[in-house]
């Protein structure tokens, strides 16, 4: 499974997906940021493992909401857009970083790719 042609927007992230010979163009997730597509691709891969059609899984992902404090868009004063990323600023996370006890980053499966074309 490959995600590519990533488009970042104020209300979500656009991308194309290819799985074998199947190509799904112009899909969107309300999750903000290129890094969120790794979770999207993993969710799609798990869905296909459990025989959920890729088109159906992609449609379901259009309604997913970000977790509080994790790149969560909020409406500000006079139409301003605020991005709540406060989860990374919690005292527990700051103390783990300063002590060097940060968990190692998760490795993505080799068959999941996120590429930029163009």
| Residue 73, CA distances (Å) to 10, 11, 30, 37, 115 in order | 8, 7, 9, 17, 25
pLDDT at residue 90, rounded to an integer: 62
Contacts of 100 (CB under 8 A, 6+ apart): none
Distance CA 17, CA 26 (A): 9
pTM of the shown model:
0.66
pLDDT at residue 95, rounded to an integer: 53
pLDDT at residue 67, rounded to an integer: 78
Distance CA 118, CA 105 (A): 28
Element (H, E) at 43: helix 36-49
Q: Which residues of the chain have pLDDT under 50?
A: 103-104, 106, 108-112, 118
Sorted by where each begins, the domain ranges of the chain are 2-114
Rg of the chain on CA atoms, in Å? 16
């Amino acid at each position: 499974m490959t995600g590519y042609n990533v488009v970042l927007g104020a209300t979500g992230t656009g991308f194309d997906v290819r799985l074998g010979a199947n190509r799904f163009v112009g899909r969107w997730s309300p999750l903000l940021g290129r890094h969120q597509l790794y979770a999207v691709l993993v969710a799609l891969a798990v869905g296909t493992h459990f025989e959920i059609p890729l088109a159906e899984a992609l449609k379901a992902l259009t309604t997913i909401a970000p977790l509080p404090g994790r790149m969560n868009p909020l409406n500000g004063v006079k139409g301003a857009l605020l991005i709540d990323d406060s989860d990374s600023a919690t005292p527990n996370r700051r103390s783990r970083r300063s002590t060097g006890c940060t968990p190692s980053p998760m490795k993505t499966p080799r068959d999941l790719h996120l590429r930029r074309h163009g």
